[in-house]
Structure 1
Amino acid sequence: MSRSYCINCQYPQSTCVCHALKPVCSQTEVVVMQHPSEEGHAKNSVRLLKLVLPQTQIYVGETAEDFIELQHYLATQTKPVYVVYPNEHSQTVAKAGASEAVIIIVIDGTWRKAYRMLQLNPWLVDYPSLHLECVDESQYVIRKAKRSDSLSTLEAVAHTLVALNPATDIAPIFAVFNTMVQHKLTAMPAQVRARYNSDKIKG
């Protein structure tokens, strides 16, 4: 028997997140460069980000050729463009003097895949990069990460929006995010769910 899906959020009816949806208004334009392996991932947080930030643009690919359309689009924009990725040249939002009216590029993929995408897209170095100051530990307990400072793409965007404008209400972003996480945890067998909770406590 096939599963019934919500026509709005595209999640199965049993895990619909529409009751937690409240669009967020922001002058910041979010562009996601998504690795192909993330596009259909059941735990992909970008799906949720698009629901609460409808203006989010998602480009799927890996090489520079895959992002030709994005490169052309950015070349026509007058807003400052920043890549949200920590490196030896990145700055905090405050030090960069960035305001809310900017375009931020985030890379959606594991640390290894994101780094690989950076190497394959040297055009990104034309834009200054930002890193986040200390933020709370990731709430993405249902997805493992090798680095303790790892954040989901949704979390990284939310924290960047607040850094750009402290008045931004990101509670709706985390409301729908936490709803999805709880749905996933509830669907797990008890012993598997306990392992995730135990790992979270150890972290």
Structure 2
Amino acid sequence: MSCPRCGFLYNCICDAEPQLSCKVRFILLTHPKELNKDTNTGDLMLRTLPNCQRYTWDRVNPPSALLEELRAANNQPWLLFPSDDQHPAAAYQPAEGKLPLFILLDATWQEARKMVRKSPWLSQLPHLSLTPTSMSAYQLRRNQQAGNLCTCEAGITLLNLLGESAQATQLSLYFQAFIDTFHADKSGHARQL
């Protein structure tokens, strides 16, 4: 039987799971196609970051609780998304008296583009763009484009940007344990250490 927490059958990685204490709020806006994929790395953030929550994206019916959070006077929402001519990125500057709220699109890049294009309430948010300092270690899906990060890697990069380097390092180690274990577990054998 698979581990109910990490989902692996032969190589449970729960002992590698850190309990982070980061105060930054993350919201994973997850495309419905991602919810049950075992390759989804947003789950790693949900398990480890105390202020991380998930909403499911719906083109017709946006999550009302998320819309309320975006309108709340004490929140400073940011959409983590690459800039383009239509949506230039802004440099992150914390606003005094407001809590930063980072929305990460938990989807493939093709799905994420559609989510922004089909959701005017998303495209109106200030865009925060990341500049990765290394190549993605995520190789669990086909058609990966160079320079793109998976959801968890984007979270790690954002933590570093916010000066939470110790938290970023712990999450990175957990992510690497997931990547190192995935293929062995899915092929039905214990990972060789």
**Same fold? TM cut 0.5:** yes
Q: For residue 129 of structure 1, what is the amino acid of its counterpart?
A: H
For the pair 1:170 / 2:134, whether they are aligned, the reply is no
- Cα distance in 2 for partners of 1:119, 1:66 equals 14
2:11–2:185 contact (8 Å) kept in structure 1: no
Structure 1 residues 123-142: Cα deviation after superposition (integer angstroms, max 9, x where no partner): 12332111012421111122
For the pair 1:137 / 2:101, whether they are aligned, the reply is no
* Distance of aligned partners of 1:71 and 1:170 in 2 relative to their CA distance in 1, 3 Å threshold: same
* Partner residue, 1:51: 47
Q: For residue 85 of structure 1, what is the amino acid of its counterpart?
A: F
Query: Aligned ranges for residues 1-203 of structure 1 at < 5 Å?
Result: 4-7=1-4, 9-88=5-84, 89-91=87-89, 95-98=91-94, 101-187=99-185
Moved over 6 A (4+): none
2:74–2:99 contact (8 Å) kept in structure 1: no
Measured after TM superposition, the shift of residue 153 of structure 1 is 0.4
- Cα distance in 1 for partners of 2:41, 2:144 equals 18
2:23–2:51 contact (8 Å) kept in structure 1: no
The Cα RMSD (Å) is 2.2
Q: For residue 30 of structure 1, what is the amino acid of its counterpart?
A: F
Please list every run of 5 or more consecutive structure 2 residues that lacks an aligned counterpart in the other structure. 188-193
Residue-pair matches, total: 183
Of all paired residues, the percent bearing the same amino acid is 21
Measured after TM superposition, the shift of residue 64 of structure 1 is 4.8
- TM-score, normalised to structure 2, is 0.84
Please list every run of 5 or more consecutive structure 1 residues that lacks an aligned counterpart in the other structure. 190-203
* Distance of aligned partners of 1:86 and 1:133 in 2 relative to their CA distance in 1, 3 Å threshold: same
Structure 1 residues 14-60: Cα deviation after superposition (integer angstroms, max 9, x where no partner): 23221101122222100011001100001110111111113211011
Measured after TM superposition, the shift of residue 96 of structure 1 is 3.2
- TM-score, normalised to structure 1, is 0.80
1:15–1:180 contact (8 Å) kept in structure 2: no
